Amino acid sequence: MESEGDSRIDGLKDDDDLQFLLAGTKLIKIRSKSWQKSRYFSLMEDCRTILYSSKKLFKKDQTFLIDDIESVRKGRQTEGLQKYTDPSEEEMCFSIMFKGHNKCLDFMADSKEEADRWVSSLQKLINHVDNLNKKQKREHWFISCMRKADKNKDNKLTLKELKHLLRHVNIEVNDTYAEEIFKKCDTSNSGTLEDLEIEEFYNHLTKREEVDVIYAKYAETQGEMSAGDLLNFLLNEQREQATMESALKLIEKYELDEAAKQKKHMTKDGFIMYLNQEDGSIFNPAHSLVYQDMSQPLNHYFISSSHNTYLMEDQLKGPSSTEGYVNALMKSCRCVELDCWDGPNGEPVIYHGYTLTSKVLFKDVIRAIKDYAFKTSQYPVILSLENHCTVEQQKLMAHHLINILGSALVRKPLGDTMPTNLPSPEELKGKFLVKGKRLNKLDAVFSNNNTVEEETVSEEDEAADCKENSQKAKSKKSKIKLATELSDIVIYCKSVHFGGFEHAKDNQSFYEMSSLKESKALQLADTSATAFIHHNMDKLTRIYPAGSRTDSSNYNPVPLWNVGCQIVALNFQTHTKEMQLNQGRFRPNGFCGYILKPAFQRSLSSQFNPQSLTNGPWLQKKILHVMVISAQQLPKVNKDKEKSIVDPLVKVEIQGVAADNAKKMTNHIENNGFNPMWNEKFEFPISVPELALLLFVVEDYDTASQNDHIGQYCLPLTSVQNGYRQVPLLTKKGVSIPSAGLFVHIMLMDQQ
């Protein structure tokens, strides 16, 4: 039998790094100051699993999967390594981070060379496995793969071997379902499947009656789809601007049967493969790259923004951590918040003031931000400072910012003359902007006039808000002294108090921005929407959650995007529906953290009001037809309960301007998470498609208590592809559920 290692690692077989991992070495695993133990780590023969053993006699060997690794970090980059190892050991340390949670493993190797070797070898293996998944390299089809795998030619495969095989042909399968089908097909109870049983297993696994019907309708050439048949399908059903050339490309990309490929045909298996990949996805693949104009002023974009970025849980007693910043930045968040307070030993710290949250050093946070800011997006990162420090520690803050961020920190306006508007994301690629108080006008940079207008500034609105909620309430706004060094690095994001739209129009410069509490912002969005939109046409506005949200819950960002607010800050650490909407809003444009606002939120002549819709370029009346057809391989919600099977239902929701907001729901289907079928149709009238988000939520119906969440997916209506489409499903945290999906039919049409 071919080992899985062979199938997964084609092209890496004789690689030195792979041999290094297979041989393995001793590493010190670090959990605390006192728990630092030597363990032998090596890659198992399957080339997918790392094994390590304990010295305890009866302790089982432990393993983790290469597929579960999010990243490998060189040096002392986690809090554990920073706390429990010495800076002199920096080059011998590395960490492995895992997908979907905050778990990590910290290691120290015997030497810098060995640490480097582990990091580069693991990275190579991870990339190789990722590329295999991405390219959908399928040189053989299922049965030919099986024959190749069946080395002893006895035509028998165990469940384990079958699962290896499925991975080889890139078919994702939920373990529970694989076992159930295996038992069904193993009629002889021999623990292996033979010949026709194997084909039956495969047929059960990929059986999609709803797809059979669609395929049969268009497969008009010897029972298969010719390139011409496929083109008909793409034009008539998918409503794509397809050509014969694009149909041939799809056959080349997704057809698995070599004989069919030669004839330029697509078999049903190839067709299912197409539906399950990006071309068949509901999300327009052209939008998975940066496709918008990135040369407009910063305030013309929605900017993915985080609140209390340092928190991992709630804001009363949760831990503060540099990991909060890493997590947010890796999700392309482009505005992070730093709550700065005087710390011991003269070093400023970050934590949630007046609470029991733990503290983290300001300089450690800046280092983490520098390391992770531009890993997923090259566009600028705004550091929103909440400054409560004494002048001495403020000077140190400025020193750390300048020292650590170096030339990436914007310390003066980009040109040689005083600008009249904000620079663009394109011009600011790879740069950091500091948002905070400034003692004088920006013109001072050019006039060499360093006169400080005032030595003290009022505390940030948000800080005052926290104080109101604390025991230390004060009747008037407190003032703090501001260090010139810190003031001078605030260039394009000077914090000023909001005194109303009229006052702002007369007094506020383009580089001055206000922060508003959610309640105040939502009230203005409700009562003065058009004025709010015009205010945001040449200035930035930041919105933050009320201090009373001690559980770090979130408010709905949609009404604030509707009035053009750019920096709508949410608690990224809280996995709520609002965060799913945020992920949906920023999914297009290469998930780079910047989305260009619609033209009617940027044009000075615009009279757009999301509350009361009048005629204008924003009004493009459409009808969205959604047919929820089926779902595939939904995960069990109660994994502990062996017999527990989900009763799934699907909620379809539109979030946009008030007139467009609507929610519909299918019936639930009893005891079927493998291939539930609904075939239920919904209609949504849409007035402003450019601001609408489409959200799918799959739940496990429960008569006695609240439904359990199974999966969700959100995207802007402007990125939806028409026709028969697969909807990927994500966990509450936004992590992909590999084998699960929804199958829908979508049609966005002009209203007659």
What are the average pLDDT values for consecutive 10-residue runs of the chain, which has 752 residues?
42 79 93 91 86 70 84 90 92 90 86 95 84 39 58 74 65 76 85 78 80 93 93 96 96 89 92 92 96 97 93 70 90 95 91 77 95 96 95 96 97 92 97 95 80 62 53 54 94 95 94 95 95 95 88 92 97 90 97 97 94 92 97 77 76 97 96 89 97 97 88 97 96 86 96 79
Known binding residue 435? Answer is yes
Pick the catalytic residue: 164, 168, 287, 352?
352
Please give the pLDDT value at position 127. 81
Please give the pLDDT value at position 311. 84
Spans of all domains in the chain:
4-134, 142-285, 298-601, 622-750
Please give the pLDDT value at position 55. 64
Domain boundaries 298-601, CATH class: alpha beta
Known binding residue 208? Answer is no
The neighbour count for residue 376, using CB atoms within 10 Å, is 15
Known binding residue 44? Answer is yes
CA dist., res. 337 & res. 318, Å (int): 16
Known binding residue 55? Answer is yes
Known binding residue 39? Answer is yes
Predicted TM-score (pTM) of the model is 0.80
Q: Which CATH architecture has domain 622-750?
A: Sandwich (2.60)
- Report DSSP letters for 544-597, one per residue: E--TT-TT------HHHHHTT-SEEEE-TTS--HHHHHHHHHTSSGGG-SEEEP
Strand-pair category, 305-306 with 567-570: parallel
Please give the pLDDT value at position 269. 86
Sequence-distant (6+) residues with CB within 8 A of 640 are none
Domain boundaries 4-134, CATH class: mainly beta
352 included as an active-site residue: yes
Domain boundaries 142-285, CATH class: mainly alpha
CA dist., res. 439 & res. 451, Å (int): 9
Phi, psi angles (nearest 5°) of residue 502? -65, -45
Strand-pair category, 493-495 with 512-517: parallel
Sequence-distant (6+) residues with CB within 8 A of 552 are 308, 311, 313, 314, 315, 318, 545, 571, 573, 574
C-alpha 599: how far from chain center: 26
Known binding residue 486? Answer is no
CA dist., res. 100 & res. 731, Å (int): 9
Three-state helix/strand/coil letters over 699-752: EECCCCCCCEEEEEEEEEHHHECCEEEEEEEECCCCCEEEEEEEEEEEEEEECC
Pick the catalytic residue: 265, 287, 307, 388?
307
Known binding residue 702? Answer is yes
Please give the pLDDT value at position 139. 29
Known binding residue 312? Answer is no
